[in-house]
Structure 1
């Protein structure tokens, strides 16, 4: 397959799995870099400039989730997919709250990892467009981050400041589950008073009533059980 020059760094202490993923991803056009542990993850990022990292959660030299958290604290926004040995809610929450973009429980089919890599890279591209201030279209709606206005066709939809903050946080992270704590931090509006988990849920309900055909079966703002919510364009 023709190379797309997208570099994926695979960090895992299992040499057989590393080679399997390298062979598979290379066949599908990716440039794959391999590392046995996360000891010098920052150095590898600086040297190779990967476009995405596949990072094992449990490694002999430390926790992949903590490594991901350090990257985010340093301002590094390279997409990270965590590989976890257990597909439990607590592991998923820990990984997502550490800043991972997605997770995949072991064992897994390489085809699923490929699909997740491609989905995360699409979301990254969409988020980059949002950061540049471009209007975001989904269905009949347009959200303009420059004016903070949501419209359906030519008709503006009235939202409170906190609801706009919440929508902005969701739309800027398409497809990425955001915990209530993360949404609380992103959507805080001092003019509306102190927010809590219940306030986030109420704001989500109001947004759904504004944009969903059936708020009980939402298309755009979906519940991620055990985590929070995500925007699914």
Structure 2
């Protein structure tokens, strides 16, 4: 799988109140040559992230005490660059939208296909590493190596998926990128029934963060019937 940011094996934190799920996902993770730590609650997850390096979190939603959504909110406030994949029996559209809106990078429904989950974990870890090419579109700047993005020289606090989404749009040099292509490149998977909604939620979050810096212009634009594009002048 390669090495983490500090030249070490990437470490995956699995959070679920069902020990069988923790054990199964842990075995899949270790089978990929990754580090693994498993906990049974949101409180333990926050402690684990504080205690040692974690490169990705696989997070259950329905847990006693602090649920997965609240855990994700707190993780985001402490570790904004940490990828989070929700793994939940709540597979309705509303739960998926909530999970993605509060900061989740991906949402996988239980029962899950082991190979699919492994592929999504690998994709998230690859995406968090980024590429080496810096990008600039008008007042928007993105540095994949330092994992920094800014608008009008104001830093943008982006999640890994938001960062990757902006990177793909900026790399298109003003051309519209189809929704299906965005999903393939950012989520490293083939589009399905929920992929359009997934992209839309993350675009909405990305726009909101850009508007906090400059609400006068729309830098991420919808090209109806095609997809999305980035405009350097907001027009």
Residues 88 and 109 in structure 2, CA contact (< 8 A), matched pair in contact too: yes
Name the CA shift for 1:190/1:121 in 2 (closer, same or farther; >3 Å).
Answer: same
CA distance in 1, matches of 2:98, 2:108: 13
Q: Is the 8 A contact 2:164 2:186 kept in 1?
A: no
1:175 alignment partner in structure 2: 186
Change (3 A) 1:178 1:47: farther
**Structure 2 residue 138 is matched with structure 1 residue 120:** no
**Cross-structure match for 1:62:** 66
Q: CA RMSD in A?
A: 3.4
Q: Which residue of 2 aligns with 1:144?
A: 136
1:71 aligns with 2:75: yes
Q: What displacement does 1:26 show?
A: 1.0
- Secondary structure, counterpart of 1:81 in structure 2: strand
Partner of 1:227: none
Per the alignment, residue 208 of structure 1 pairs with none
Instruction: Name the CA distance, whole Å, in 2 between partners of 1:6 and 1:70.
Output: 22
Q: CA deviation at 1:67?
A: 0.8
Select 1:31's aligned residue among 35, 40, 47: 35
User: 1:146, CA displacement in angstroms?
Assistant: 8.0
Contact kept, 8 Å, 1:6 with 1:51, in 2: the verdict is yes
Q: Any gaps of 5 or more consecutive residues in structure 2?
A: 142-151, 157-161, 169-184, 188-198, 230-235
Trace 1:219-230 onto structure 2 (pairs within 5 A).
Answer: 221=228
Q: Note the alpha carbon deviations across 1:59-99, whole angstroms, 9 max, x for none.
A: 11221011101121234321110111121111111101110
Q: Is the 8 A contact 2:86 2:99 kept in 1?
A: yes
1:16 match: 20
1:110 is displaced (CA, Å) by 1.4
Identify which of 42, 46, 63 aligns with 1:42. Answer: 46
TM-score of the superposition, structure 1-length normalised? 0.64
Deviates more, 1:182-191 or 1:10-19: 182-191
Residue in structure 2 matching 1:216, options 213, 225, 232: 225
TM-score, reference length from structure 2: 0.63
Give the superposition deviation at 1:116. 0.5
| Superposed CA offset, 1:24-45 (max 9, x none) | 2212211111101112322211
| SS in structure 2 of the partner of residue 60 of structure 1 | coil
Cα pair distance change 1:146/1:47, threshold 3 Å: farther
Gaps of 5+ in 1: 136-142, 150-160, 206-214, 223-233
